[in-house]
């Protein structure tokens, strides 16, 4: 045990001696009694003693009260009900007089609150007389309180708080409860108060002598040059003593994942594209051959913005309209209904990142094109463990002369391998604007999981835009990928400000 005591720091020994005398103490008491310079010294040494198992902290949340703006006014001018009753007594010396309510002259801004609390304290009685007129009578309780200047519990608490901020236990409970019912009279703050005391292991230290001596804990050039080290006592170190954890600064895990995926796309020869969050239905849906009566356009599924947005050049708009109405030059029969330009002009928050890539293709129709987009999208989703109304979507696009389905499968295998999934398989799928389509599954933690979709854009999408070659497309949700990687079951955990989780996540 002597070796343990010898390994303690100068400040740790001082705290042990203070606790030996006081049994338990607050950090403020230790600061004062132990002769420390700063609270940092106290808390630093106490934290080390706690880590070594010699002391423990008891934490209690206490409420402290002080005056708010109305309370400050009441200290100067008195509570409204007291002022109200005082005015009546001075105006009508015969306190037994029954007064007509409307005849009483008082500040109209305070009359209501004054009467409410006067009735609450049984200072007045109000009723209608035989003529239906509201009359008021003062009670003996009110007269006694005003004439003899008897203060109520609430007024006493108010006066105490005008001097200093006080903890809840120092105030009259009834008076405090009355003031809490009023608005802007008192305010409170919570403060965590710690009490430090010995553990059973710490008590055993007291069986041995604890001597506080000046000691050297760090050798400096000044110590050596001055010669102090010759007669000084050196502090012994415990190589098994716990140390504080140091956390380095780093990106949020989602941010880091976005950076990694962006690097994968760039290394594979892709270019990143991005447009605005607010887009027209034309770019978000019509260009992708989504019919204008599709459920995805309903307000319960999509966020609409009040304004409308302009359409692009008339030639492109006409080709899109033809594709919807009769198939145009695509070989399709279209949707067989009149295309509405006003519906296409409606502004929405984008529902997918394909709105970025398809717009880029429309503006740059010459092959070859390899682009990607990583961005936030918005849908009217009920918030639960797997859905959010705002989330990230990742998309890759290839347009080349000899692009085909086998190329798409090969690109997907390479892409998902670089993300970290060696075992990838595909199964047929359906998506509104790709045909053929497939769904990507990855093998993770002993089971196959769906992690994205892919396909080739339909002719109804590519031909009206003037694209001469086939377009391969695939996409996945960032949050779903992150949940797999981080072992989370609730998507909301990704956005909760849990500092401990953020600190401990591997870079």
Task: Give the pLDDT confidence score for residue 354 in this predicted structure.
Answer: 92
Count helices and strands in the chain by DSSP H and E runs: 21, 19
Same domain, 328 and 202: no
Question: Would 354 be classed as within a structural domain?
Answer: yes
Q: Are residues 375 and 406 in the same domain?
A: yes
Same domain (yes/no): 475, 355: yes
How do residues 364-404 score in pLDDT, each as one tens digit? 998 899 999 999 999 888 888 888 888 899 999 999 989 99
Residue 164 domain-assigned (yes or no) = no
Q: In this predicted model, what pLDDT tens digit does every residue of 191-213 receive, in sequence order?
A: 888 889 888 888 888 877 777 76
State pLDDT tens for residues 301-319. Answer: 789 998 899 999 899 999 9
DSSP assignment string, 192-231: EEEEEEE-HHHHHHTTS------EESS--HHHHHHTGGGT
Q: Lowest mean pLDDT: which of 252-261, 292-301, 383-392, 441-450?
A: 292-301
Q: Is residue 286 packed enough to be buried (19+ CB in 10 Å), middle (13-18) or exposed (0-12)?
A: buried
Helix/strand/coil for 486 = helix
Is 186 inside a domain boundary?
A: no
* Together in a domain, 396 and 468: yes
Q: Which stretch of DSSP H or E encloses residue 462?
A: helix 459-462
User: Which domain CATH number covers 32?
Assistant: 1.10.10.10
Looking at the structure, do residues 432 and 336 belong to the same domain, yes or no?
Answer: yes
Nearest to 55 by CA among 234, 249, 195: 195
DSSP string, 333-377: ---SS---HHHHHEEEE-S-THHHHHHHHHH--SSPEEEEEEEEE
**CATH number for the domain harbouring residue 451:** 3.30.930.10
Phi, psi of 53 (to 5 degrees): 90, 15
Tens digits of residue pLDDT in 323-364 = 999 988 888 888 888 999 999 999 999 999 999 999 999 999
Can you give the pLDDT at residue 324?
93
Query: How far is residue 443's CA from residue 416's CA, in Å, rounded to a whole number?
Result: 11
Q: Clarify whether residues 399 and 306 are in a common domain.
A: yes
| Chain segment 150-173, per-residue pLDDT in tens | 999 999 999 999 999 999 899 999
pLDDT at 41: 85
Residue range 476-482: mean pLDDT, rounded: 88
User: Whole-angstrom Cα distance, residue 220 to residue 228?
Assistant: 11
pLDDT at residue 396, rounded to an integer: 93
- Shared domain for 301 and 226, answered yes or no, is no
Decide: 224 and 19 in contact? Cβ < 8 Å: no
Convert 21-84 into a string of H (helix), E (strand) and C (coil).
Answer: HHCEECHHHHHHHHCCCCHHHHHHHHHHHHHCCCEEEEEEEEEEEEECHHHHHHHHHCCHHHHH
**DSSP state at residue 132:** S
What confidence tens digit (pLDDT) does each residue in 105-139 have?
Answer: 888 888 888 888 999 999 988 888 887 777 888 88
pLDDT in the model for residue 236: 65
458/494 same-domain check: yes
What order do you get walking across the sheet with 390-399 strand by strand?
271-272, 369-378, 390-399, 471-477, 447-457, 434-444, 424-428
What confidence category does residue 406 fall into, taking pLDDT thresholds of 50, 70 and 90?
very high
Does position 14 have pLDDT exceeding 90, yes or no? Answer: no
User: What is the value of pTM for the model shown?
Assistant: 0.55
Q: Render pLDDT for 78-100 as a digit per residue (tens, 0 to 9).
A: 999 999 888 888 887 665 666 77
pLDDT over 90 (residue 42): no
Q: What percent of the chain has pLDDT over 70?
A: 95
Q: In sequence order, which residues have a C-beta less than 8 Å from that of residue 135 and are 6 or more positions away?
A: 98, 99, 100, 101, 126, 127, 128, 129
Last residue of a domain, one of 150, 175, 208: 150
90 plus 54 within the same structural domain: no
Total number of domains constituting the chain:
3
Q: What is the β-pairing status of strands 424-428 and 390-399?
A: unpaired
The answer to whether residues 214 and 346 belong to one domain is: no
Which CA distances in Å does 150 have to 75, 123, 146, 154? 15, 13, 7, 12
**Cβ–Cβ under 8 Å, residues 99 and 93:** no
Any domain includes 456: yes
Domain enclosing residue 399, as ranges: 255-504
- The answer to whether position 177 is within a domain reads no
238 has pLDDT over 70: no
DSSP labels, 228-296: GGGTPEEPP--TTS-----------HHHHHHHHHHHHHHHTT-EE----SEEEHHHHTGGGT--TT-GG
Per-residue pLDDT, 414: 92
Asked if residue 90 belongs to a domain, the reply is yes
35 within some domain: yes
Across the range 181-187, mean pLDDT stands at 90
Please report whether residue 50 resides in a domain: yes
74 and 59 share a domain? Answer: no
Q: Which of 150, 178, 213 is the last residue of a domain?
A: 150
Tell me whether residue 118 is exposed, middle or buried, using C-beta atoms within 10 angstroms of its C-beta: 0 to 12, 13 to 18, 19 or more. buried
Average pLDDT for 180-193 = 89
Q: How confident is the model at residue 74 (pLDDT cuts 50, 70, 90)?
A: very high
Q: What pLDDT does residue 234 have?
A: 73
Lowest-pLDDT range, 198-207, 293-302, 317-326, 490-499? 293-302
Co-location of 79 and 45 in the same domain? no
Average confidence score pLDDT of the chain: 87
> Stretch 428-432: mean pLDDT, rounded?
88
């Amino acid at each position: 045990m002597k070796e343990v005591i010898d390994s303690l720091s100068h400040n740790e020994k001082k705290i042990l001696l203070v606790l030996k005398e006081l049994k338990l103490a607050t950090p403020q008491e230790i600061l004062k009694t132990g002769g420390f310079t700063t609270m940092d010294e106290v808390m630093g040494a106490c934290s080390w003693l706690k880590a070594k198992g010699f002391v423990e902290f008891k934490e209690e949340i206490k409420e402290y009260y002080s005056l708010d703006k109305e309370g400050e006014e009441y200290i100067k001018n008195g509570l409204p009900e007291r002022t109200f009753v005082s005015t009546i007594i001075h105006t009508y010396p015969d306190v037994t007089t029954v007064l007509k309510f409307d005849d009483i002259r008082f500040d109209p801004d305070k009359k209501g609150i004054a009467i409410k609390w006067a009735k609450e304290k049984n200072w007045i009685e109000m009723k209608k007389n035989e003529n239906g007129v509201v009359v008021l009578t003062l009670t003996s309780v009110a007269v006694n309180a005003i004439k003899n200047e008897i203060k109520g519990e609430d007024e006493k608490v108010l006066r105490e708080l005008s001097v200093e901020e006080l903890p809840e236990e120092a105030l009259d409970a009834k008076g405090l409860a009355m003031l809490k019912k009023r608005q802007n009279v008192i305010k409170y703050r919570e403060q965590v108060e710690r009490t430090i005391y010995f553990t059973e292991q710490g008590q055993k230290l007291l069986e041995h002598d604890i001597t506080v001596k000046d000691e050297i804990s760090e050798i400096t050039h000044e110590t050596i040059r001055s010669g102090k080290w010759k007669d000084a006592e050196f502090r012994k170190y415990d190589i098994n003593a716990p140390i504080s954890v140091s956390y380095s600064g780093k990106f949020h895990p989602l941010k880091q994942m976005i950076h990694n995926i962006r690097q994968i796309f760039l290394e594979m020869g892709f270019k990143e594209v991005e447009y605005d969050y607010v887009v027209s239905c034309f770019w978000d849906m019509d260009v992708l051959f989504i019919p204008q009566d599709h459920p995805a356009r309903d307000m319960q599924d999509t966020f609409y913005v009040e304004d409308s947005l302009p359409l692009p050049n008339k030639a492109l708009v006409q080709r899109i309209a033809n594709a919807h109405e009769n198939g145009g030059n695509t070989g399709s029969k279209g949707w067989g209904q009149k295309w509405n330009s006003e519906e296409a002009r409606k502004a929405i928050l984008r529902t997918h990142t394909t709105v970025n890539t398809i717009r880029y293709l429309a503006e740059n129709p010459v092959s070859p094109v390899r682009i990607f987009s990583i961005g936030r999208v918005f849908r009217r989703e009920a918030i639960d463990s797997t859905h959010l109304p705002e989330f990230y979507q990742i998309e890759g696009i290839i347009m080349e002369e000899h692009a085909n389905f086998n190329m798409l499968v090969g690109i997907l295998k390479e892409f998902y391998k670089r993300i970290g999934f060696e075992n990838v398989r595909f199964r047929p799928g359906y998506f509104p604007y790709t045909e053929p389509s497939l769904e990507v599954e990855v093998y993770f933690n002993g089971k196959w999981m769906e992690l994205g979709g892919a396909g080739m854009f339909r002719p109804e999408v590519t031909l009206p835009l003037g694209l001469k070659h086939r377009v391969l497309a695939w996409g996945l949700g960032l949050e779903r990928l992150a949940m797999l990687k981080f072992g989370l079951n609730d998507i909301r955990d990704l956005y909760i400000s849990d500092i401990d989780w953020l600190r401990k996540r591997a870079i």
